[in-house]
Amino acid sequence: MKPTRETFGNIPHSSVVLFYVLTVISVAVFAYGLWRRFHLWRQGVPIHVRELLAGNLSKIIIRLKPGFRRLVREGLGQTRVKGRGLPSWAHIALFGGFMILFLGTTLLEIDHLAEGISPSLKFHKGIYYVIYEFTLDIFGLLFLAGCAYFLFRRTRRPASVGHRATDWYVLGSFLAIGVSGYVVEALRIVWQHPTGLAAHCSPVGLSISEWFASMTETTARSAHRIIWWLHSVLVFGFIASVPYTRLLHIIAGPINLFFARAQLGVLVPVTMEEVEKSERIGVSTIEHFDQQQLFSLDACMECGRCEEACPAFATGKPLSPKKVVQDLKGLMTLALSHRKLNEKPSTIAEAGKSRGPALHGDTIQMETLWSCTACSACVRVCPVRVDPLTLITDLRRNRIAEGALTGTAATSLRRMQASGNPWGLPIAERAKWAEQLNVPEAKEHPQFDVLYWVGCAGSYDRRAQRVSRAVVKLLKHARVNFAILGREEKCTGESARRLGEEFLFQELAQTNIATMAKYNVRTILTQCPHCLNSLLKDYPQFGGNYEVIHHSQYLERLLAEGRLKEPRESRTNGVITYHDPCYLARVNGIDQAPRSVLTATGLNPSSFAHELREMPRNREKTFCCGAGGGRMWMEEDPKKRVCSLRSAEALATGAKTVAVSCPFCLTMISDGVASQDDSARVLDIAEVLAERLQL
């Protein structure tokens, strides 16, 4: 006889009927909770689902493919959960176990329905049955291991992880579901006496059944019914509680993965038409966020990864990306009830009270918004792609439009507008750094191959000017046909955009795009990762499409082509470390080229004299220098400087040279290093190479 078992074996018909009644009730409670959340999400600006589904099938598939790929890779494959040691593996075990048990239960129900139609349709038997039982038995263990770990971890109350009373219920009920499932299995084995494969395909259940071996069949049957009910009630409780507890991320997480913006460093432009229509810029009430942003708030399970990665939080500033998300989530829930009260106030007193807390001021403080360095670390680490940075930028846009930014950053914005650079220095002095170097300018040499985009720092900042000179020497040495725009170049507007001053950015971008169109610019080389990101990802939104290359990539290419010859002996003494700029390594994935340039200088990890030593946080996991998001133009409490933290990490490697590849990082890390070790120096990779080549 083929191994099998009855789906509701030993369960009386009346209990089966009650089971289905309770299933319907728990699903109804689940659906009601989800419907309530759906109403909260609907408060936001509509996302264009209809546009996604317009056109013929192949067009729809092309549009939906990236979302499905993220769902499979990051949702089912848990790729964004990895990388955090034991908690990651515990989540993968819990998730894997949960998915298999869920799938198994669904298949069992399908089998039961099929059998109800015709006994010949039953497929839960034979080899299928053996594989099914064995798989569920093993994955049940993974599920339990994951639950046990998270319960244990909760007793330790790690600071970055959110804690709610319902978390104990969720994990406790998961554990009880897993354990009671095994006991039900064991008791079934006791009263059913399966033999051979039919028994051994459930190794865990079989082992537990030995504890109950002394039971009579009648006792085992009674105990089986009791534990089966306990197990079922726990499962009903789980289903019903999903929308009301942290489990909501099971639903909102995958939805967010599907709809989230995939690329780091991209902002959605604001148009004048939108402003005229909505009579606002940015977000001033919770309903001004779009629907994807609102359901992303429900996707957050308060894992605290974003907070741990945040440089503002690490230096004691009043910003935690996790708290921003949770505070907005709280406001989203409150806002709807206050709106309903407003629509139908039953008393005059209620009508007065129904305004609720404001978004700006009551929920999110100004200091919180301006603390963000726009480093994208929070976005990169979030397992479900919640994007605190975009939430913050949308809020900043509104504050800027309302004139709420004051101090040095506001002055820089005014200077950008008036002089085309944040220092407010004369346009006529933009190319002064290049005097005596005979640098070709585009208007005199329009036949160039590469436009060297110097940027404001490279043009006006004395320290960064030395980097520009090093780049020019290297380009000339390699006989590159290049030109600069000189006084025709203006600030890219990157800082303005990240600060929230969208229309100033657009004005600067359009001016630069028009200038570059005049010279038919195709390829741009820049030493500034902020300019690179803006030219690469912001400018195409306004018609500026270019090949944008960072100087590390270009120098790597020149070295590989032999146009820059690797020297025999190194001039760079001692240990060197390299700091990855956020907008280069994390946001644009450029992390190997700078290392190749440094390695080409004769450095290699096995050399004691010239050693490239990595900091613990490197490449895409790099830690910000503190200058991004317009923070470059703000005063910072000397005791809370991000650059001090990063410089200490750099110096802890034992390095006497800290290499960078960004003018903002050059300023910040130089400050941080100077305050801690005056014998160490900070150099751009172009300077390291030029020094080695004795240029």
Q: With respect to ligand SF4, which residue has the nearer C-beta, 551 or 586? A: 586
81 or 555, CB closer to ligand SF4? 81
Burial class (CB in 10 A: 0-12, 13-18, 19+), 2: exposed
Size of site (CB under 6 A) for ligand SF4: 29
- CA dist., res. 417 & res. 410, Å (int): 11
**Residue 292 beta carbon to ligand SF4: minimum distance, rounded to whole angstroms:** 14
CB 603 within 8 A of CB 639: no
Cβ nearer to ligand SF4, comparing 383 with 420: 383
Does position 585 interact with ligand SF4 (CB under 6 A)? The reply is no
Of residues 522, 510, 543, the one with CA closest to residue 453: 522
Query: Of 304 and 529, which CB lies nearer to ligand SF4 in the complex structure?
Result: 304
Using rule CB under 6 A, residue 300 touches ligand SF4:
yes
Residue written as token pair 């089986």: 224
Interacting span for ligand SF4 (CB under 6 A) from 74-82, 348-356, 377-385, 558-566: 377-385
Q: Which residues partner with 45 through β-bridges?
A: 290
Residue 192 or 292: the one with the smaller Cβ distance to ligand SF4 is 292
Strand partners, 526: 453, 550
Q: Is 322 in the site for ligand SF4 (CB under 6 A)?
A: yes
SS (H, E, C) 599-646: HCCCCCCCCCCCCECCCCCCHHHCCCCCCCCCHHHCCCCHHHCHHHHH
- Comparing CA positions, the residue from 659, 661, 692 lying closest to residue 455 is 661
Rg (CA), the chain: 31
For the chain, report the end-to-end CA distance as a whole number of angstroms.
86
87 is a site residue for ligand SF4 (CB under 6 A): no
Task: Out of 201, 267, 310, 454, name the contact with ligand SF4 by CB under 6 A.
Answer: 310
Report if residue 26 touches ligand SF4, rule: CB under 6 A: no
Helix, coil or strand: residue 560: helix
Residues paired with 549 in a beta bridge: 525
Q: Is residue 329 within the footprint of ligand SF4 (CB under 6 A)?
A: no
Query: What is the token pair recorded at 602?
Result: 């004769």
Regarding 391 and contact with ligand SF4 (CB under 6 A), the answer is no
Q: How far apart (Å, rounded) are the C-alpha atoms in residues 4 and 123?
A: 9
Q: Is 388 in the site for ligand SF4 (CB under 6 A)?
A: yes
- Residue 248 interacts with ligand SF4 (CB under 6 A)? no
> Cα–Cα distance between 16 and 13 in angstroms, integer?
5
Establish if 325 lies at the interface with ligand SF4 (CB under 6 A): yes
Report which of 149, 131, 143 is spatially closest to residue 101, judged by C-alpha positions.
Answer: 143
By C-beta, is 44 or 87 nearer to ligand SF4? 87
Q: How far apart, in whole angstroms, are the C-alpha atoms of residue 46 and residue 42?
A: 7
Range in contact with ligand SF4 (rule: CB under 6 A) among 97-105, 298-306, 344-352, 450-458: 298-306
- HEC assignment per residue over 327-353: HHHHHHHHHHHHHHHHHCCCCHHHHHH
Residues with Cβ within 8 Å of residue 388, at least 6 apart in sequence: 306, 321, 322, 324, 325, 378, 379, 382
Q: Does 305 bind ligand SF4 (CB under 6 A)?
A: yes
State yes or no: residue 309 binds ligand SF4 (CB under 6 A).
yes
Does the protein bind ligand SF4 through residue 220 (CB under 6 A)?
no
Contacts of the segment 115-118: beta carbons below 8 A, 24+ positions apart: 115/7
Q: Which of 147, 294, 369, 375 binds ligand SF4 (CB under 6 A)?
A: 375
Binding status of residue 372 toward ligand SF4 by CB under 6 A: yes
Among residues 81, 144, 389, 686, which is the contact residue for ligand SF4, using CB under 6 A?
389
CB of 305 to ligand SF4, least distance (A): 4
Q: Which of 194, 282, 321, 630 binds ligand SF4 (CB under 6 A)?
A: 321
Determine if 312 is a binding residue for ligand SF4 (CB under 6 A).
Answer: yes
Q: Which is nearer to ligand SF4, 183 or 389 (CB)?
A: 389
Give the whole-angstrom CA distance, residue 577 versus residue 606: 14
Q: Which is nearer to ligand SF4, 302 or 461 (CB)?
A: 302
CA angle 638, 642, 645 (to 5 degrees): 95
Q: Does 227 bind ligand SF4 (CB under 6 A)?
A: no
CB of 95 to ligand SF4, least distance (A): 14
Q: Which stretch binds ligand SF4 (CB under 6 A): 74-82, 304-312, 536-544, 609-617?
A: 304-312
Name the amino acid, one letter, at 306: C
Rounded to whole angstroms, how far apart are CA atoms 272 and 510? 14
Phi, psi of 172, deg, nearest 5: -65, -45
Cβ proximity to ligand SF4, 267 vs 384, nearer residue: 384
Q: At its nearest, how many Å lie between ligand SF4 and the CB of residue 73?
A: 17
267 binds ligand SF4 (CB under 6 A): no
Q: Pick the closer one to ligand SF4 by CB: 277 or 639.
A: 639
How many C-beta atoms surround the C-beta of residue 158 within 10 A? 12
Site membership for ligand SF4, residue 377 (CB under 6 A): yes
Closest approach of Cβ 84 to ligand SF4, in Å? 10
The whole-angstrom distance between residue 397's C-alpha and the CA centroid of its chain comes to 21
CA–CA separation, 100 and 143 (whole Å): 9
Q: Binder to ligand SF4 among 167, 185, 302, 488 (CB under 6 A)?
A: 302
Cβ atoms of residues 458 and 528 within 8 Å: yes
Tokens of 145: 């291991």
Q: Beta partners for 578? A: 659
By the rule CB under 6 A, 293 interacts with ligand SF4: no
311: contact with ligand SF4 by CB under 6 A: yes
Closer by beta carbon to ligand SF4, 378 or else 660 = 378
294 binds ligand SF4 (CB under 6 A): no
359 binds ligand SF4 (CB under 6 A): no
Residues lying near ligand SF4 in the complex (CB under 6 A): 300-306, 309-312, 319, 321-322, 325, 372-378, 381-384, 386, 388-389
